[in-house]
A and B are shown apart, each in its own frame.
Chain A
Amino acid sequence: MKPCFLIILSLFLWIGLHAQNQMDLKGKVIDSSNMKPLQGVSVFIKGTTRGVVSDKNGEFVLRSTPLNKEISLSMAGYKTVSVLVDGKNFLEVKLSPSLASLSDVVVIGYGTQKKIENTGAIASVKSDELTQTPIANIGQGLQARVAGLQVNQNSGSPGGNVSVRLRGINSINGASEPLYIIDGIQISNGGGLNSISPLSTINPNDIASVEVLKDASASAIYGARAANGVIIITTKRGTAGQTKVNLDSYVGSQKTPKKLDVLNASEFAALENEVFKNTYYPDPSSEGEGTNWQDLVFRTAPIQNHQLSVVGGNDKTKLALSFNYFDQKGILVNSGFKRYSLRLNLDHKVNDWLTVGTSILSSYSISNEVPNVTTTGDAGVVINSILGAAIGAPPTLSPYRDDGSIYPFGDQQDGHYREVVNPLNFTAILNQYALKRTLANVYGEIKIAKGLTYRASFNTDIQSGLTDTYSPRSIINTSDLTDESGSASKTNTNYTFLLHESILTYATKFAEDHSLNITGVFATQSELSNSNVINAHGFPNDATQNEALQLAQSQTVSSSRSKQRLDSYMGRINYGYKEKLFLNLTARVDGSSKFGADHKYGIFPAVSGAWRLIEESFLKKSEILSDLKLRASYGITGNAGGISPYQSLATVAATGNNYDINNQYLIGINPTGIANPDLRWEKSKQTDIGLDIGFFKQRLTIVADYYFKKTNDLLYVKTLPLSSGYSSMTGNFAALQNKGFELAVNADILRGELKWNTSANISFNKNKILDLDGSTDELFVTPYSVLKVGEPLGIFKTYVFDGINQTDEAILPGYDGRTGGYKVKDMNGDGIISSDDQIITGDPNPKFIYGFSNNLSFKNFDFSLFLSGTYGNKIYNASELSFEMPLGQRNMFAGLVDRWSPTNPSEEYVSGFQGGRLPITNHPVQDGSYLRAKNITLGYTFHTLKWAQQFRIYVSANNLFTITNYEGYDPEVNSYAGSNTVLGVDNLVYPQARSFLAGIDITF
């Protein structure tokens, strides 16, 4: 403490001593391109921390300016200028706009870098692009914005998860989500479907920029967790100058863009009579239209977002704070997501050599979920998902009793339809997840010597979640009501993440043209998770829901706790020659507690270089070219995401192998698997060759990259013989590769009064499994999805649909063939249908994905159009397996009106039948290509208001239209969300809403 105090004291003395030979300097800053005054320019006395900001008229006053000092004037988008004061007391300075894309700074791991110096493949997304669409999380905002990044909305459920894949899927049974770094704190995004995305707890409006580190050279600095790419998110920080208060609000309304056609009551009644060969419905035609269940579960739902933020500061202290409220009701009744969040970013310059600061992001998110997805087929989808129930519910039944309460199906028609459930049951079930989360860090940065800086940061991510569920007695069939009816649960989860990072950087120049930048990092982190679960059954009534579990007939409890550690050592050297040649060397050593005893540590090196040909004499004078840079990189990165703690060790646990002895339920303990001391990182080797080209003073820029990635030691859940006592073992058995090409184009087509900027990106990726476990060639992961060596992940393998078996047609043996049922092709012609007749019938991976964005402005109007899409991917519409297979007791898709009968020889739809099952064919394989209007916005800005600096009003339409041949709700689906192995399967996923919004954006 003492030396610190002395230093501060001496600083005051120094300032006191130098308070001579000074005067007040006045000045004005103007834009050299249009000669208009520039507001907000930072004016600093060089070598000091003293500075001011120019006002509305471009004017500034620097008090007590030393006579012989230089001042520096800078502003984003303009070239920085230094002027010698030289005794003058008034200065007029012209700033000329910079070639934006060349002077840009990009955020890289543990630092920033000028864009021209960058040797890796890094893409930046700006905040206004991110939040153009009404989004709950950043992942959604990134969709179709970055070449090479495939973002899939797993479910349209509010706050629902996205799966993000950078340059293809790089893992089989491990994690495939990129690593997110938010202000230095790592966030992993789990792939679940019904849970809130961890990213949804972060308010997208707080984000200043997003950097996507795509190749190994950019991401290797994150070593063992970088193989899936790294996404660095920087939140908005304070700036010196006038304090700005901003209010950004929108409200809107959302609807489902589509409902599926199903049989009406009279058609359903006729089908039921046919299936059961009786006359349960004596007069089907009298049943009429019946209940439209989809109309009852879908609704028009409001969405609103309000953000209030303050940004300001002076040369010593800068702050940014914000409050946000986001509330999105779901288009399925009873679903919704709400988030309250606040943020404080503070930076304080203690003195010449010490800066301290903090970032605090805190949020409270509440998600109400309605069971909307299941991977089970046939009857399962009707019982387990609200959409399945709405499609399958007999239209001949009633939704409500006369008193308005939900009418259980078991209580209608003598329980004839008790095996299907009233879709409204799902709306009466409580399933709420509330998460409190605080991401915080403090840092101190010390300038030790010229060019040498040390930064220490302490980061925490503290999460506390509560899941509340209650399934009421009121929706249970009266005949089934027992003392055990009514079930509830409470799940508490706690997660604590602690991270310390020490970063030492040294930057120097030597022999004039050579620059050197050295970074060293030590980081250590630990993660602690625990959970407590209480389940209870049997409530006297629904009054207390799940808030008095002691009332229940029976309760069960469970709890668990786990911990993991990661230590890292990293070094990086950036070398630059003039502005022409750049070289980057990176290496990181990571040590994780999760891995086998012999593999605790892994080394991840990368090398990359760039050559800016534009600096060569033969190009320097070019009128057309304004930038030309060739980049190349190679590196090894790791992935540890799929491993959970303790997985490498032999353990015993209570896993439900319990038994009644003497009428008491005793808990057994048993071995849980085979130890794998070899368990280690997945290792991904990636080569990237890229080209950055700029034309016409950067009016047109193109970034193109080719990459080749091979991942070895892939985590694979090897199927074990069941006779070993276990079903599987996780080990580093598999290998796969991804290669692809990405292209991003940005053009300022018009720059006059009518401005038109357009940007487009397109990505091609090819994925191939090289090895599963050495011996397995093929593994079915669903009845129709297969993992096959030499093929991409997720391909469909099925029998080939060949119409319907007609009357008197011979039916091949070997499957449950029947007249009026599916006919399948005997591919090998052996006269028997066997598994040998299954062939690959579809690839769910798109040939390419693309995004296309246009921004226009004319005077005070602005207009934008944002399109995105995929091409060439197939979808397995698994809902057909449930709703085109008329087994009775559940409703079917409308096409079944045309079902086969002896008098209607359909080749498309099977006749009604009972028992048995139909073969899994490629009939449900459909083209999943789509082009979607993600967003259309029209805005108007008032510039000349007295009470506000800026006032913009806007309206927007989201998901206005989707051009696709796909027959389901939404082509952007996967019922197995987040899965690497099951792709493009639609078992009735929550569709994304079409929404219309109106908003205001005021800056005071």
Chain B
Amino acid sequence: MKFFRIFIGCVIAAVFVISCNLDETIYSSAYTDNFYKTSSDAEKALIGVYGSMTSMYSGPAATLVADFSDDQTYPRAVVGRNTFTLFSYDTYFTAQRTNGRMNESPQQIWTACYSGIEKVNWMLVKLPSTVMDETRKKQILGEAHFMRGFFFWMLAKNFGDIPVKISPSTELDSAFSGKSTKAEVYKQIYSDLDAALGSGLPSYPNVDKGRPSLEAVSALYAKVALYNEDWATALQKAQDVISSGKYGLMEDVRDVYRYDKEDAARKENIWAYESDPISPGTGHQLTGLCGPAGSAGPEYAKKSYGSMFAYQSFFDSFNPDDKRRLLLDTTFKNTQGQIVHQANITPISKKGVLIKKYQDPVSSIGMIPNIPILRYADVLLIAAEAEAHLNGASAKAYGYVNMIRQRAGLADLPAGLNQSGFIDAVLQERAWEFFAEGDRWYDLTRTGKYMTVIPKAVNDVYPERNVQAKDKYFPIPQDELNANPELEQNDDWK
């Protein structure tokens, strides 16, 4: 009997010994405390930040939100997709939510930007103690600051006053932050971009495709300042880019968008959302949306849906000599090589106008066309607008605009315009230059012109467009408001 008890005692004791430690062994991820230690950790963390662009540009919410709101382009209405100024979108973005089109909605911009900002916040806290080459570390931090500035600016132009969150969410309490005023938001963006400018980023062409060059920081700075109506800074930063001499305009405006000239066009495309014909790789829907339905136009894409068109009135606004109008079309060549006339482009309208900025006739895996974010043409027009605000329609201002007009094959802007006339002409030039690049809508909202322009931008598909004052900004997503007691809805949307 004694033997059993000893035996049992041994068994129980043995089992107790093997089983006291309840700490977790981790295999397929790492504890945050063990990350951000090496240079490759730092590079991977930075890629994670760029990764937040992917969720904003795959829809791409970053351009569709603006382009489905403006007076240039419109969607073929399907469930969850419509023109925003007509759209019965509510603060919950229900239509997109229930139809799997969240990635085309303003909420996607909100989510993606703050996800990117959080990643930058962690890097800024953790990287100073990373052991690695200090020069590269400084650049990495610079790229991170640039990205945070970009994200805050995307938020500010879409939602108005927003939370400025610049420390990581390490515990529940730090997950909540209230609204900042526009001035505070722009102050933060300036500070991020100043940090990026001082981080030793390389100049074009010695910059990796996809990363910002030193000049890209200035270009973004100029545009941010323009939206902040800080004309002097806008002009200064734009001139920094121009005087660097690193960038210029493509001779033929169509080459900016040609699938086989992408690398050559980096001379003008200062910074873009990168898309490549690789799988896995990053991509977007614009090629498919802009091509004719049923993949009918082989010049547009291998696979396209006929979901996005330009208004006929926008097409008609071009001078027929304007080369930029060649980036729109009223006919296309079908798979049999026959010309399909305008009346048959789309079943929704006899006046379908096709957009040719995102054509990719060759790729079946992934797609080539990048989505431009900052172009040299933009820098010139920012300079023109800022100069006009500061010094009126000066020769310098005319000079900037006319570079754009000359490239488009147009005569110079008529001399003698007054300040506001000149600024309007610059805005009009921007309209022709940047359509379908997610830009026009913000020109309209920052200048207040949306209230008058949008009701006139109608066609047989959208015969009436009743824009309201509250449309200046999108509502802050209800998801955010529900979860964040420190935040209030924009006044117009209450």
Interface string of B5-27 (1 = CB under 8 A from A): 10010011001101110111111
Number of interface residues of A (CB under 8 A): 100
Kindly list chain B residues whose C-beta atoms are within 8 Å of the C-beta of A670.
Answer: 45, 48-49, 51, 119, 122
Please determine whether A537 and B303 come into contact, CB atoms closer than 8 angstroms: no
Kindly list chain A residues whose C-beta atoms are within 8 Å of the C-beta of B45.
Answer: 652, 668-670
Please determine whether A723 and B479 come into contact, CB atoms closer than 8 angstroms: no
Please determine whether B281 and A653 come into contact, CB atoms closer than 8 angstroms: no
B79 touches which of A379, A449, A537 (Cβ 8 Å)? A379
A965 within 8 A of B: no
Kindly list chain B residues whose C-beta atoms are within 8 Å of the C-beta of A816.
Answer: 88
Whether A645 touches B24, Cβ cut-off 8 Å, given contacts A663-B276, A723-B484, is yes
Q: How far is the CB of A499 from chain B (nearest CB, A)?
A: 11
Within 8 A of A (CB), among B20-43: 20, 22-33, 35, 41
Please determine whether B114 and A658 come into contact, CB atoms closer than 8 angstroms: no
Whether A721 touches B177, Cβ cut-off 8 Å, given contacts A650-B170, A674-B172, A783-B94, is yes
B213 within 8 A of A: no
B489 within 8 A of A: no
Please determine whether A668 and B32 come into contact, CB atoms closer than 8 angstroms: no
Docked Cα-Cα span, A887 to B99, in Å, equals: 13
Residue of B nearest to A562 (CB): B27
Whether A887 touches B79, Cβ cut-off 8 Å, given contacts A554-B280, A649-B31, A670-B48, is yes
A618 within 8 A of B: no
Please determine whether B29 and A725 come into contact, CB atoms closer than 8 angstroms: no
Interface string of B44-79 (1 = CB under 8 A from A): 111111111111000000000000000000000111
Please determine whether B98 and A560 come into contact, CB atoms closer than 8 angstroms: no
A483 touches which of B22, B364, B487 (Cβ 8 Å)? B364
A48 within 8 A of B: no
**Stretch in B204-212, B216-224, B391-399 with 4+ CB within 8 Å of A:** B204-212
Please determine whether A278 and B100 come into contact, CB atoms closer than 8 angstroms: no
**Stretch in B161-169, B417-425, B434-442 with 4+ CB within 8 Å of A:** B161-169
A482 touches which of B117, B163, B210, B364 (Cβ 8 Å)? B364
Docked Cα-Cα span, A602 to B90, in Å, equals: 45
Kindly list chain B residues whose C-beta atoms are within 8 Å of the C-beta of A660.
Answer: 209-210, 274-276, 278, 281-282
Please determine whether B276 and A783 come into contact, CB atoms closer than 8 angstroms: no
Please determine whether B480 and A661 come into contact, CB atoms closer than 8 angstroms: no
Within 8 A of B (CB), among A790-834: 815-816
Docked Cα-Cα span, A651 to B170, in Å, equals: 11
Kindly list chain B residues whose C-beta atoms are within 8 Å of the C-beta of A415.
Answer: 293-296
Please determine whether B99 and A379 come into contact, CB atoms closer than 8 angstroms: yes
B365 within 8 A of A: yes
Please determine whether B176 and A721 come into contact, CB atoms closer than 8 angstroms: yes
Docked Cα-Cα span, A428 to B24, in Å, equals: 44
Please determine whether B295 and A915 come into contact, CB atoms closer than 8 angstroms: no
Residue of A nearest to B119 (CB): A670
Kindly list chain B residues whose C-beta atoms are within 8 Å of the C-beta of A659.
Answer: 47, 50-51, 53-54, 210, 274, 282
Please determine whether A722 and B171 come into contact, CB atoms closer than 8 angstroms: no
B118 touches which of A483, A565, A725, A729 (Cβ 8 Å)? A725
Interface string of A548-570 (1 = CB under 8 A from B): 00000110100111111101000
Residue of B nearest to A418 (CB): B294
Please determine whether B5 and A448 come into contact, CB atoms closer than 8 angstroms: yes
Which residue, A649, A779, A887, has most C-beta atoms of chain B within 10 A?
A649
Residue of B nearest to A647 (CB): B24
Kindly list chain A residues whose C-beta atoms are within 8 Å of the C-beta of B54.
Answer: 657-659
Kindly list chain A residues whose C-beta atoms are within 8 Å of the C-beta of B163.
Answer: 721, 723
Residue of B nearest to A783 (CB): B98
Please determine whether B115 and A725 come into contact, CB atoms closer than 8 angstroms: yes
Q: How far is the CB of B367 from chain A (nearest CB, A)?
A: 11
Which residue, A278, A377, A662, A915, has most C-beta atoms of chain B within 10 A?
A915
Kindly list chain B residues whose C-beta atoms are within 8 Å of the C-beta of A779.
Answer: 482
Please determine whether B294 and A410 come into contact, CB atoms closer than 8 angstroms: yes
A898 within 8 A of B: no
Please determine whether A668 and B364 come into contact, CB atoms closer than 8 angstroms: no
Please determine whether A917 and B29 come into contact, CB atoms closer than 8 angstroms: no
Within 8 A of A (CB), among B124-176: 162-163, 165, 168-172, 174-176
Interface string of A311-353 (1 = CB under 8 A from B): 0000000000000000000000000000000000000000001
Please determine whether A651 and B30 come into contact, CB atoms closer than 8 angstroms: yes
A720 within 8 A of B: yes
Interface string of B380-406 (1 = CB under 8 A from A): 000000000000000000000000000
Please determine whether A482 and B302 come into contact, CB atoms closer than 8 angstroms: yes
Please determine whether B110 and A722 come into contact, CB atoms closer than 8 angstroms: yes
Whether A720 touches B483, Cβ cut-off 8 Å, given contacts A567-B19, A667-B47, is yes
Kindly list chain B residues whose C-beta atoms are within 8 Å of the C-beta of A727.
Answer: 111, 479
Please determine whether B11 and A456 come into contact, CB atoms closer than 8 angstroms: yes
Docked Cα-Cα span, A672 to B122, in Å, equals: 11
Docked Cα-Cα span, A723 to B480, in Å, equals: 7
Which residue, B18, B117, B295, has most C-beta atoms of chain A within 10 A?
B295
Kindly list chain A residues whose C-beta atoms are within 8 Å of the C-beta of B485.
Answer: 775
B477 within 8 A of A: yes
Docked Cα-Cα span, A483 to B365, in Å, equals: 7
Docked Cα-Cα span, A418 to B92, in Å, equals: 30
Whether A378 touches B53, Cβ cut-off 8 Å, given contacts A448-B1, A479-B295, is no
A376 within 8 A of B: yes
Whether A721 touches B483, Cβ cut-off 8 Å, given contacts A502-B15, A668-B45, is yes
Whether A482 touches B303, Cβ cut-off 8 Å, given contacts A378-B98, A727-B111, is yes
Kindly list chain B residues whose C-beta atoms are within 8 Å of the C-beta of A903.
Answer: none
Within 8 A of A (CB), among B407-433: none
Interface string of A142-184 (1 = CB under 8 A from B): 0000000000000000000000000000000000000000000
Within 8 A of B (CB), among A668-692: 668-672, 674-676
A656 within 8 A of B: yes
Please determine whether A522 and B90 come into contact, CB atoms closer than 8 angstroms: no
Q: How far is the CB of A588 from chain B (nearest CB, A)?
A: 16
Residue of B nearest to A887 (CB): B79
B209 touches which of A556, A645, A649, A661 (Cβ 8 Å)? A661
Kindly list chain A residues whose C-beta atoms are within 8 Å of the C-beta of B176.
Answer: 721, 724
Within 8 A of A (CB), among B462-494: 477, 479-480, 482-485, 487
Kindly list chain A residues whose C-beta atoms are within 8 Å of the C-beta of B23.
Answer: 593
Residue of B nearest to A3 (CB): B3
Kindly list chain B residues whose C-beta atoms are within 8 Å of the C-beta of A664.
Answer: 278
Kindly list chain B residues whose C-beta atoms are within 8 Å of the C-beta of A726.
Answer: 115, 118, 169, 175
Kindly list chain B residues whose C-beta atoms are within 8 Å of the C-beta of A378.
Answer: 79-80, 98-99
A669 touches which of B41, B111, B117 (Cβ 8 Å)? B41
Please determine whether A724 and B171 come into contact, CB atoms closer than 8 angstroms: no
A414 within 8 A of B: yes
Docked Cα-Cα span, A661 to B211, in Å, equals: 7
Kindly list chain A residues whose C-beta atoms are within 8 Å of the C-beta of B94.
Answer: 783, 917, 920
Whether A657 touches B52, Cβ cut-off 8 Å, given contacts A502-B12, A722-B480, is yes
A746 within 8 A of B: no
Please determine whether B294 and A719 come into contact, CB atoms closer than 8 angstroms: no
B82 within 8 A of A: yes
Binding site for B on A (CB under 8 A): 3, 276, 278, 353, 376-380, 410, 414-415, 418, 446, 448-449, 454, 456, 479-480, 482-484, 500, 502, 504, 522, 524, 530, 537-538, 553-554, 556, 559-565, 567, 591-594, 600, 645-646, 649-653, 656-672, 674-676, 718-727, 729, 731, 775-776, 779-780, 783, 815-816, 835, 887, 914-917, 920
Taking A538-B365, A559-B28, A721-B176 as given, write out 11 further A-B residue pairs in contact, using a Cβ cutoff of 8 Å, ordered by the A residue number. A377-B99, A454-B4, A524-B19, A537-B279, A659-B47, A663-B276, A670-B45, A675-B170, A725-B118, A731-B172, A783-B98
Query: What are the 5 tightest A-B residue pairs by CB atom distance, in nearest-first order?
Result: A725-B118, A657-B51, A915-B77, A668-B48, A668-B47
A-B contact pairs, 27 of them (CB 8 A): A379-B78, A415-B293, A454-B4, A480-B295, A502-B15, A522-B15, A538-B279, A553-B365, A556-B280, A561-B28, A563-B27, A567-B22, A649-B24, A649-B31, A652-B45, A653-B30, A657-B47, A659-B210, A665-B280, A668-B44, A669-B45, A722-B480, A723-B487, A724-B118, A726-B175, A727-B111, A779-B482
